[in-house]
Structure 1
């Protein structure tokens, strides 16, 4: 079966954090309903502010925050105030509209390392009421020394308690040096995997921290052979066939919806509410592009 290596590119997140954007990119916009993926770190933030991302809006998606190291404080316009640490899930469902901020606490661990993803909401759910959930404990599937924490959806018959709106999986796979496993997959789903640390053979390809390895569909197993202590994150799901318009922090279905969301954020529309307690300004929306935004499928 063919695979595709997607290198991604570096993007500044706030004033102090650089991330590697792996989705969307040219040639691969989505994997299942997963429409956005940033990895960050490991960064030495012992004497630095760490992550500082001021209040900003979202529509039509869920945000998934997962840490390998460090601590992040989430605030949102629902009044949520939640710290997240490694092994815990912060899940925010934007629905029709929400705003939030993300920051490293003043007294934070010396390292920051993790991944943030978006899940596109299907048309039937994208106007749902916004919500926020914190899951401090998640189920684990084990094969030998390899542990797979089911962060979102269902994997190997194990289901996360996190709320989902389409068939998908988000899984952290921790494989000690010298370990190997043949993990079950759904052949009707498409998958991709990124190494957060270490190096491993995955589906016959060497995977190291950095790029995203797109695995496609048709696979019933995923062979993992760890060359060293390795931490992977696997995303997958039923192919998402609804064309999307993605711009800035919004997932929509038309140019006009994007314009409406942007104008609403800039004018203080109550749909986005207010994030209280963040010590800094809200992020202004960029200017709209001069071209008409078109809905695109999962591959472009």
Structure 2
């Protein structure tokens, strides 16, 4: 998905080390989403929890949009024209509906509930995302992962994976990146990561063993969840610093709760993120924008979309300045 804001926020960030809080009740930072309309008057509105002023990264996860359930007859669904990406991977995950994906590698695939589509932008890629005519309710998440310096100019890539549900005592998990609950995803990432969908039975508590070197984020899609002793409402994201070996999740609602669990080792590199580009300097962003606007071979072309490419927004009238995660307390 493109970041279709008219005036996208420029972000330069470095994940800071944080104190770990071992035991059953780690300290939880609650991040509240902001509503972002993507496009015109009938456009989708997404709930964005990353990046924001209080936190810009969780591991290498640098962008999290959560949307729906939307009746596409009212919203028009998703129709994102060809647009570019650099220096990142896009992670598409649906709860309902179907999205058709095309990219400049020639990939043509569908995003369906419970199936991962992961696209690597590297030096440059372009793609489209359009909800299909058979979609009535569109509901899911679009996530981005920053690539480390060593790999940020890597070749374009596209991977599809349908993880099997793993039973838990009190729920189930689908692990689409990394490893959890005795299962591991075969999908390649460039830094240690965790991505999983969890379902929690009504009033059940699930305790998960996690990597102590990871920081974690719990994004609630449905229900009310308690992370340790901290309640999280729908669309809120609970952050836990490294140093915790277990996460305790309790569904305090009458119905099945659903959430996304994200994790990774702190991303120590300083990055600049603007529109759909991730670089290491303001000049990186300027060059990527110029390459997209001039239709250079860097991003290739997407076949099969009946419309024009998205133009890049105007750059800010200043050098992009740093924005960092809070310092260790």
Common topology (TM > 0.5): yes
2:201 maps to: 176
2:27 maps to: 2
Which of 46, 63, 88 is the equivalent residue of 1:36? 63
2:95 maps to: 68
How far has the Cα of 1:70 moved from its partner? 0.6
Q: 1:98 to 1:184 in 2, by over 3 A?
A: same
Supply the distance in 2 between the matched residues of 1:201 and 1:179 (Cα, whole angstroms).
10
How far has the Cα of 1:150 moved from its partner? 0.7
How far has the Cα of 1:145 moved from its partner? 3.3
Supply the distance in 2 between the matched residues of 1:145 and 1:8 (Cα, whole angstroms).
27
Provide the aligned C-alpha RMSD in A: 1.5
1:275 maps to: 302
1:213 maps to: 238
How far has the Cα of 1:20 moved from its partner? 0.8
Supply the distance in 2 between the matched residues of 1:207 and 1:126 (Cα, whole angstroms).
34
2:141 maps to: 115
How far has the Cα of 1:162 moved from its partner? 1.2
How many residues get paired?
A: 298
Q: Does 1:164 align with 2:199?
A: no
4+ residue stretches of structure 1 with deviation over 3 A?
Answer: 294-300
Q: 1:298 to 1:141 in 2, by over 3 A?
A: farther
Supply the distance in 2 between the matched residues of 1:299 and 1:207 (Cα, whole angstroms).
21
TM-score norm. by structure 2 comes to: 0.87
Residue aligned with 2:151, SS: coil
Which of 125, 128, 134 is the equivalent residue of 1:101? 128
Supply the distance in 1 between the matched residues of 2:213 and 2:136 (Cα, whole angstroms).
42
Q: Per chain length, whose mean CA-contact separation is higher, i.e. which structure has more relative contact order (CA < 8 Å, sep 6+)?
A: 2
How far has the Cα of 1:49 moved from its partner? 2.8
Q: Does 1:186 align with 2:216?
A: no
> Structure 2: which 5+ runs fail to align?
1-25
> Structure 1: which 5+ runs fail to align?
none
